[in-house]
Amino acid sequence: MISRKNILQLKIRQDIYETISKYPGIHLSELSRKLNIPKTTLKHHLKYLDRASLIDVKKQNSYMRFFIKYKAGKKEKEIINLLRQETPRHIIFFMLNNSVSSQIELSKELNKNPAAIYFHLKKLKEIGLINHANTVGKNGVNLGDSYFLKRDKL
C-alpha cells in the first residue's frame, strides 16, 4: 500500500491537493480546467488521494465536490457547496444589502422563477444561513413570507 507521503510525491497529485486546498468545494470540471488535466486522468489521481484519506468527496446532484480532509466541518462544507452555486450566492449578496427580502423581490431582482427562488431559500434556511419571517405592513396586513440573513453565521 502506498503511504500518504508517497502519494504526494507525484507533482500532479501535489498540484491537485494544493488546488483543492485553495478552492474548497471545487468540482471535477473546474479542477480539470484550472489544472489543464483531462478528467479521466484527474479521476485516477483523485481516487488515490481519497483512498489515502487526504481528501473528502461530497456528491451534490450531478457534481462531485472535493475538500481537504479534516480542513472543513460538515456545516462549512454545506455552506461552501451552496455558495459555489450562482443563485444561492446572488440571494445572499442581495440580502446583505436588504435587511428583509421576500421571495417575489428576489425573483424579480435575480430574474428567476419564484419556485426556483423558493427552492434555494429552503436550502439556505435548512443550513441556518437565513431565517423566515412573516412581514406585516403598517396597517397590520400580512405582506407575506420574507427572509433575512443570520449575520452571525456569515
Beta strands in 6-125 (DSSP E): 26-27, 55-60, 63-68, 101-102
pLDDT tens for residues 22-48? Answer: 988 898 999 999 999 999 999 999 998
Q: What would the grid cell of residue 118 be?
A: 423558493
- Mean pLDDT is highest, among 38-47, 98-107, 122-131, for 38-47
Supply the pLDDT for residue 82. Answer: 78
User: Does the pLDDT of residue 2 top 60, yes or no?
Assistant: no
User: Does the pLDDT of residue 6 top 90, yes or no?
Assistant: no
pLDDT tens for residues 66-78? Answer: 988 876 677 777 7
Angle, helices 114-126/86-97, rounded to nearest 10 degrees: 80
Q: Are 72 and 24 in contact (CB under 8 A)?
A: yes
Domain 85-153: which CATH number of 1.10.3720.10, 1.10.10.10, 3.10.105.10, 3.10.20.30 = 1.10.10.10
Topology given in CATH for the domain delimited by 4-72: Arc Repressor Mutant, subunit A (1.10.10)
Domain residue extents for the chain: 4-72, 85-153
Listed residue (114, 96, 7, 86) closest to 51, CA to CA: 7
Q: Are 35 and 15 in contact (CB under 8 A)?
A: yes
